[in-house]
Amino acid sequence: MTDSDTFGVYPGSFDPITLGHYDIVMRSLNIVDRLILAVAETATHGKEPLFDLDEREDLMREVFRGDTRVEVVRFSGLLVDFARSRGARLIIRGLRAVSDFEYEFQMALMNRSLWPEIEVIFMAPDSRYTFLSSSLVREVARLGGDVSKFVPPPVLERLEGRFGPSVSGG
């Protein structure tokens, strides 16, 4: 790390991390030198979690093991307070479809009103992932569907442990 390196925060629930998230991380690393993947203890949308925070963090660390540009950190409280505490002025979020826009725009403007120095960049994922979400992966896996095209190998392995071989098409 040097004084001039650029870095951003990519926050989310990551329950679990999908190939859509992975794609956004890789695209972000074309525009910043380092990325903090910030795993929220408090998500804005209260959802029934599949993996607890420790599991989510472990899986993400496994996915990016060996990549020194990526750091996985959990945070509680406000995202802008976390970003400020790390000296990060850039938040990255994936934007899959118009339907994401309203929620993302609201959050971006609320975050900016809480801390005017923050900037938010929306990244478009590869078209293969525009319909993909962690909540759909959770639902399909719970119901015995094949999610092997949508999650990185460590996540697939963990889902197999939870729901059996059907999650990888077996």
Residue 21 bears catalytic tag: yes
Residue 107 touching ligand PNS (CB under 6 A): yes
Residue with tokens 């900037």: 119
Of the residues 40, 50, 132, 141, which one makes contact with ligand PNS according to CB under 6 A = 40
13, 28, 134, 168: which is the annotated catalytic residue? 134
Residue 72 touching ligand PNS (CB under 6 A): no
Residue 127 bears catalytic tag: no
Residue 28 touching ligand PNS (CB under 6 A): no
Nearest to 160 by CA among 134, 145, 62, 18: 145
13, 28, 93, 96: which is the annotated catalytic residue? 96
Helix or strand or coil: residue 70? strand
For residues 116 and 130, give the distance between their C-alpha atoms in angstroms, rounded to a whole number: 30
Residue 96 bears catalytic tag: yes
Residue 18 touching ligand PNS (CB under 6 A): no
Please provide the size of the chain in residues. Answer: 170
Whether residue 60 contacts residue 39, with contact meaning beta carbons closer than 8 Å, is answered with yes
Candidate ranges 38-46, 48-56, 59-67, 124-132; the one touching ligand PNS (CB under 6 A): 38-46
**What amino acid is encoded at 126 in this protein?**
D
Residue 79 touching ligand PNS (CB under 6 A): yes
Q: Is the peptide bond before 16 cis (omega within 30 degrees of 0)?
A: yes
Candidate ranges 26-34, 36-44, 63-71, 153-161; the one touching ligand PNS (CB under 6 A): 36-44
Q: List residues binding ligand PNS (CB under 6 A).
A: 11-13, 40, 42-45, 78-79, 107, 110-111
